Amino acid sequence: MDRRTFLAALAAPLAASCEFADGRPRPATGRLLGPDMALGHRLLVDPAPAPTETLRVPVVIIGGGIGGLSAAWQLARDDVSDFRLFEMEAESGGNARSGENEVSAFPWGAHYLPLPTREGRSIRELLSDLGVLSGSIDAEMPVYEERHLVHVPQERLYISGLWQEGLLPRIGVAQRDFEQYRRFEDMVQRYKAARDRTGRKPFALPIRMSGIDAAAHALDATSMRDWLLAQGFDSPFLHWYADYACRDDYGTRAADTSAWAGLHYYACRDGQAANADSHSVLTWPEGNGWIVKRLSEWLQAHGAAPVQTRALCTRLSTTRTGAELDIFLAAEQRSIRVRAEQVLWAAPAFVLARVWENPPPGLREAAARVDYVPWLVANLTLDARPDDLGPAGLAWDNVLYESNALGYVVATHQAIRVKPGATVITWYRPLTDGSPREARMRLANTDWKTWVDEIVAELARPHPALPGLLKRIDIWRWAHAMPRPVPGFLRRPLSALLAGLDRPLAFAHSDLGGLSLFEEAHDAGVRAAQRVRRMRR
C-alpha cells in the first residue's frame, strides 16, 4: 500500500446510515478514530521543516502518557518547575486517553487500576494527591473513596447462552475442572506468599522489584499455555481463563505469552483496601482518562507549564552534557530546536530508536526486535441499557466466553449523573490473529462498516435487542498499542539498554519493563524524574 492510500484509509470520514446484512437498521453514525498517524508518519517519510527558533529548557519530557505525566508530577513534587512536556497528540494521556458525548465520558484505552500493591507506594501517594485515597498512604489497608471503587456487580461472563457472575467459568464445568481451578489457585497463592533471601517477591509490581532468578528465567523460557500443560492442567476452561488474562493485560494469546508474564498477572496483585475486597479495582466513567485529567489539573495548580500538544519530537542528539531536540509544532507547521540539560523520554522505545541520531550501540537493533500488538476499541452509545439473558445483571465488566474480543465495560456503571436510560459501553479487542504486522495492515485496511458488522453481530448474541438501541459506534484504532511479552522477554537486551541509559537521557515509558501497565508507566516516569533531580543537586 502506498503512503497516499495508507493515509486515505486512516482519514475515514463520518460513516453514513445504512442497514446490517439482515436488514436491521445500522446506527445512524459513528467515526473511525485513532492517534494522529499522519503526524506520526512524518518520522518515517516526511522530513520536518528546519527549525526557525532555538529554546533553552533545563529539563524536557517527551510524551504525555501516564509515564510522562507521572514524571512531571514527581518533578513538581520535588520543586523542579523548569521543565517542559511535549506531546505529539492533540490531548495528553496516550493509551489512557478518553472521550465524552452527551450521555457519558468513556475510555479510549486503559480503563482501570487494580488496588496498589505494597511496592506501589508512589501510586498511593499520587492517588492521595488526587483525592482518591484518604488517610495514611502507608496504612496496611488504605481507605479509598467509595465512588472510585468499582461498584457491584464487578464482572460477569456470558457462557453457554447465559450470564454468570465472575469470570472463572462455572456453567457446564465438570468436577475435574473445578479441581484444576483449586490447584492453580493454590499455586498462585504460594507464589504470592513466597520471598527470596533478600525478601523480594517472585512477581512484584513494578516488575523491577521482583526476584528474577533462575526459576524466573525458566518460567520465562516457555509459554503460559505450555507451562499449564506441563503442570498437568488440561481443563479447557482453565486454559480459556489464562488465555483471557494474557489477552486482557498483554494483548497476546497464552500460547505466545511468557509463562512468567502470564503468572505475573495472577500473582503480583495483592493490594488491599480497608473498605473493599482485594479483587476490587479503581475505575471511572472515562477509565484512566480520569487520572489523566486530574493529574493535568494538579500539575497546573502546582505551577507546571501546560503540556505543549501537537508537538512531535522528530530528532534527538545527545552529548555527555546535554541534548538537542527538534520539535515539529503541527498547529504552526514549523519546527523549533530545544537545547536541554536533561531529557525524560516517555514515548515508546521504537520511536526513540527512530529519532535518536547517536543512540548507544545495539539500541536500534534491540528495539526492532520488539513486536507491538494493535488493539481496537469501540464506544457504543445506546438509548437504553442492553437487555440480559440469565440471572447475573449488567456488570461493570462483561466478558464473552466464545470471542476473540474481551467484551465490554459500562461507562455509566460508576456515574453519579447520567441521562436516564442511555448508556455508553466500551468494547475491547486486541488483534491477536496473525503477526502484529499483518494485524496492523488489517487495522489500516478495514472500514468502519466492516468493524461495526463484526462488533454488533458479536454483541447481539447475548443482547438480541442491542442493534435496535444503537445511536452511534465510534471506533479507535491503536496501531502500536503495547509490546508483546513473548517467551524470553525478561532477557530482552532492550530493557537492559534502556535501564542503563545515562545522562542526559532517562527512559520514562512503560516499555522499560516490557509490560504495558499503569504501574509500570508510573514507576518508569517517577524513577526517571528522581534521577534528574539527583543529578541537579
Ligand X SMILES: Cc1cc2nc3c(=O)[nH]c(=O)nc-3n(C[C@H](O)[C@H](O)[C@H](O)COP(=O)(O)OP(=O)(O)OC[C@H]3O[C@@H](n4cnc5c(N)ncnc54)[C@H](O)[C@@H]3O)c2cc1C
Segment lying near ligand X (by CB under 6 A), choices 93-101, 194-202, 233-241, 493-501: 93-101
Pairing outcome for strands 143-144 and 133-134: antiparallel
**Member of 27, 30, 51, 65 binding ligand X (CB under 6 A):** 65
What sign results for the dihedral spanned by CA atoms 222, 228, 229, 235? negative
| Omega before residue 348 within 30° of 0, cis | no
Cell (9 digits) for 378: 469501540
**Member of 401, 408, 478, 507 binding ligand X (CB under 6 A):** 478
SS3 of residue 67 by DSSP: helix
Collect all residues with Cβ–Cβ distance below 8 Å to 488 and sequence separation of at least 6.
220, 221, 258
> What is the closest distance, in whole angstroms, from the C-beta atom of residue 272 to ligand X in the complex?
18
Q: Which residues pair with 426 in a beta bridge?
A: 379, 409
Pairing outcome for strands 51-62 and 334-345: parallel
Site string for ligand X, 511-530 (x = CB under 6 A): -----xxx--x---------
Is the CB of residue 33 less than 8 Å from the CB of residue 315?
Answer: no
Site for ligand X in 106-125 (CB under 6 A): 109-112
**Member of 66, 338, 340, 370 binding ligand X (CB under 6 A):** 66
Distance CA 326, CA 500 (A): 24
> What is the closest distance, in whole angstroms, from the C-beta atom of residue 260 to ligand X in the complex?
18
Is the CB of residue 269 less than 8 Å from the CB of residue 117?
Answer: yes
Site for ligand X in 269-308 (CB under 6 A): none
Segment lying near ligand X (by CB under 6 A), choices 227-235, 271-279, 387-395, 510-518: 510-518
Segment lying near ligand X (by CB under 6 A), choices 62-70, 229-237, 337-345, 463-471: 62-70
**Shorter beta-carbon distance to ligand X: residue 89 or 256:** 89
**Shorter beta-carbon distance to ligand X: residue 35 or 386:** 35
Segment lying near ligand X (by CB under 6 A), choices 143-151, 253-261, 413-421, 478-486: 478-486
> What is the closest distance, in whole angstroms, from the C-beta atom of residue 173 to ligand X in the complex?
27
**Member of 30, 67, 169, 407 binding ligand X (CB under 6 A):** 67
**Shorter beta-carbon distance to ligand X: residue 183 or 310:** 310
**Shorter beta-carbon distance to ligand X: residue 238 or 323:** 323
SS3 of residue 370 by DSSP: coil
- Encoded amino acid at 167, one letter: L
**Shorter beta-carbon distance to ligand X: residue 26 or 429:** 429
Distance CA 316, CA 504 (A): 11
Nearest partner of 258 among 534, 514, 525, judged by Cα: 514
**Shorter beta-carbon distance to ligand X: residue 61 or 212:** 61
Q: Is 66 left (phi over 0), alpha (psi -120 to 50) or beta?
A: alpha
Number of alpha carbons in the 13 Å side-chain half-sphere of residue 394: 16
Neighbours of 361 (CB within 10 A): 8
3-state SS of 1-12 is CCHHHHHHHHCC
Tell me 396's DSSP state: S
Segment lying near ligand X (by CB under 6 A), choices 88-96, 385-393, 419-427, 457-465: 88-96
Collect all residues with Cβ–Cβ distance below 8 Å to 416 and sequence separation of at least 6.
147
Distance CA 135, CA 377 (A): 36
Site for ligand X in 356-415 (CB under 6 A): 375, 377
> What is the closest distance, in whole angstroms, from the C-beta atom of residue 479 to ligand X in the complex?
10
User: If binding means CB under 6 A, how many residues of this protein chain bind ligand X?
Assistant: 36
Segment lying near ligand X (by CB under 6 A), choices 13-21, 56-64, 318-326, 335-343: 56-64
**Member of 27, 34, 94, 169 binding ligand X (CB under 6 A):** 94
Tell me 440's DSSP state: H
Nearest partner of 59 among 89, 88, 87, 80, judged by Cα: 80
Please state the separation of Cα 2 from the chain's center in Å.
30
**Member of 64, 169, 407, 485 binding ligand X (CB under 6 A):** 64
> What is the closest distance, in whole angstroms, from the C-beta atom of residue 421 to ligand X in the complex?
27
Is position 62 an interface residue for ligand X (rule: CB under 6 A)? yes
Site for ligand X in 221-250 (CB under 6 A): none
Collect all residues with Cβ–Cβ distance below 8 Å to 473 and sequence separation of at least 6.
27, 30, 378, 379, 380, 381, 448, 452, 455, 456
Distance CA 304, CA 441 (A): 40
**Shorter beta-carbon distance to ligand X: residue 397 or 458:** 397
Give φ, ψ of 126 to 5 degrees. Answer: -60, -45
Site string for ligand X, 312-331 (x = CB under 6 A): xx------------------
**Shorter beta-carbon distance to ligand X: residue 400 or 422:** 400
**Member of 159, 329, 351, 459 binding ligand X (CB under 6 A):** 351
**Member of 348, 462, 504, 514 binding ligand X (CB under 6 A):** 348
Binding stretches for ligand X (CB under 6 A): 62-68, 86-89, 94-96, 109-112, 312-313, 346-348, 351, 375, 377, 428, 478, 481-482, 509-510, 516-518, 521
